């Protein structure tokens, strides 16, 4: 179980109070990633993205919103959006099949940073390993 520090709790409280959307989790790095409860993504974004812009200015960081889903394949699809790819789950391995080299590079990231981030987020909720092909 992951423990939240004061900064994370403050970010979650600020976001929930401003948007009225329920936050399931928050990851703070160079950007702030909010995992939003299923069905609350519309509230979280706000009309014309107003909530995203407002929270981003208040935190002085870029933010990213990801809608949670109980299905691991749909959840990964939400994380890598807007990149389109085929996602297959076999036992404890999830394969992401991407056709374009640029998409693969984007999902994997420099020194596999994005892939590690993706694995960290998914591992919090599902016991699977991720592979990009």
Q: Is 6-67 CATH 3.30.300.20? A: yes
Q: Is 55 helix (H, G, I), strand (E, B) or coil?
A: helix
Ranges 2-6, 12-16, 107-111: which has the least confidence:
2-6
Q: What is the pLDDT of residue 91?
A: 87
DSSP H helical ranges for 20-112: 41-45, 50-59, 72-80, 101-108
pLDDT in tens, 7-50: 899 999 999 999 999 999 999 888 899 999 999 999 999 999 99
Q: What is the DSSP letter of 49?
A: G
Q: How far apart are CA 60 and CA 58, in angstroms?
A: 5
Class of domain 72-132: alpha beta
Evaluate whether 93 touches 129 at the Cβ level (below 8 Å): yes
- Domain 6-67 matches domain 72-132 at the CATH topology level: yes
- Domain ranges in the chain are 6-67, 72-132
Tokens of 106: 């984007």
**What mean pLDDT is reported for the chain?**
91
Tell me the whole-structure pTM to 2 decimals. Answer: 0.88
pLDDT in tens, 51-107: 999 999 999 999 999 999 999 999 999 999 999 989 989 989 999 999 999 999 999
Residue 4 has pLDDT above 90, yes or no: no
Q: How far apart are CA 133 and CA 116, in angstroms?
A: 15
């Amino acid at each position: 179980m992951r423990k939240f520090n004061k900064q994370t709790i403050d970010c979650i409280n600020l976001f929930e109070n401003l948007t009225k959307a329920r936050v399931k989790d928050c990851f703070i790095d160079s950007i702030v990633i909010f995992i939003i409860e299923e069905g609350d993504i519309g509230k979280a974004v706000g009309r014309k993205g107003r909530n995203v812009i407002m929270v981003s200015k208040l935190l002085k960081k870029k933010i990213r919103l990801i809608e949670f889903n109980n299905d691991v394949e749909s959840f990964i699809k939400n994380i890598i959006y807007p990149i389109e790819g085929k996602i297959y789950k076999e036992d404890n391995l999830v394969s992401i099949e991407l056709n374009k080299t640029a998409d693969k590079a984007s999902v994997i990231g420099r020194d596999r940073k994005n892939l590690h981030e993706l694995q960290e987020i998914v591992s919090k909720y599902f016991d699977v390993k991720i592979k990009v092909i």
